[in-house]
Amino acid sequence: MKLLLKVISILALTFGLLNAEPIELNGNKNGYDVKLTSEKTLVVGDNTLFAIVSKDGKVITNAKVKVKFFMPEMPGMPYMEYKDKAKLVDGKYQMLVNFAMSGTWQFHLMFKTADGKVHKIRSSVNL
Ligand SMILES: [Cu+2]
């Protein structure tokens, strides 16, 4: 039991440290590389996020990018979600995301490329 508590507190500490930095998540879908970053540490409230889409090392700036963050229904809490369409700013797709509460938020990042295809990356963030 003592050991379990110790492990839990170490994990909590590790997450705490990880959370104290802007995020940087890398994904790959259908030959496209996607990097999702945040301007600052994620907080409850408004956050500015950036997505960079590239293929074969070349940044793609003519895609349409949108994002949906969501948290499944939990005891005493309804399903929550937040969506935004990105706008291109200096070669990065910029998004504003409002998190209603802390915890784990899953997200789908969708990007439509010039060939009309829609690609979806799924992951999650903690705050
Ligand atoms: Cu919740």
All structural domains of the chain with their residue ranges: 22-126
Q: Which residues pair with 88 in a beta bridge?
A: 93
CA of 3 to the centre of ligand 1 (A): 29
Average pLDDT, the chain: 90
The separation between CA 71 and the C-alpha centre of its own chain, rounded to angstroms, equals 13
CATH of domain 22-126: 2.60.40.3340
User: Is-contact 65 110, C-beta < 8 A?
Assistant: yes
Measured CA to CA, the distance from residue 59 to residue 53 in angstroms comes to 6
The separation between CA 97 and the C-alpha centre of its own chain, rounded to angstroms, equals 9
The C-alpha angle 75, 121, 23, rounded to 5 degrees, equals 75
CA of 69 to the centre of ligand 1 (A): 12
The structure's pTM equals 0.82
Note the pLDDT tens digit of each residue in 36-55: 999 999 999 999 999 999 99
CA of 62 to the centre of ligand 1 (A): 35
CA of 122 to the centre of ligand 1 (A): 18
pLDDT band at 21 (very low <50, low <70, confident <90, very high): confident
